[in-house]
């Protein structure tokens, strides 16, 4: 299984931004990557809302996996999406 080098909240935020900007989805831009790069952080609250919804797997998901592991993974993703405190 591949493992991403970007946090999941960022990846979700980028998808949401692309969906709204790209002509391939709901947007109007034929080449959306530069705009997505500029605005994806604006979609982080939406990405966190998605992650919070995913904390609890549905019944079919729970039947084929470890619910406790799933919950820890999603909770970690939510924690990692919070701004880091400055050390200054």
Sign of CA dihedral 76, 81, 82, 86: positive
pLDDT of residue 38: 94
Report whether pLDDT(88) > 80: no
Is there a contact between 45 and 16 (Cβ–Cβ < 8 Å)?
no
Backbone angles phi, psi at 71, to 5 degrees: -60, -45
- Whether residue 86 is predicted with pLDDT greater than 90 in this model: the reply is no
3-class SS of residue 22: strand
Taking only the tens place, the pLDDT of each residue in 10-68 is 999 999 999 998 887 777 778 888 999 999 999 999 999 999 999 999 999 999 999 99
Please compute, for residue 56, the number of CA atoms within 13 A of its CA located in the half-sphere on the CB side.
Answer: 3
């Amino acid at each position: 299984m591949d493992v991403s080098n970007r946090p999941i909240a960022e990846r979700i935020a980028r998808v949401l931004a692309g969906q709204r900007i790209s002509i391939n989805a709901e947007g109007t831009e034929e080449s959306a990557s530069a705009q997505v790069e500029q605005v994806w952080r604006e979609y982080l609250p939406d990405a966190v809302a998605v992650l919070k919804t995913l904390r609890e797997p549905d019944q079919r998901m729970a039947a084929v996996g470890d619910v406790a592991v799933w919950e820890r993974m999603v909770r970690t993703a939510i924690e990692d999406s919070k701004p880091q405190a400055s050390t200054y």
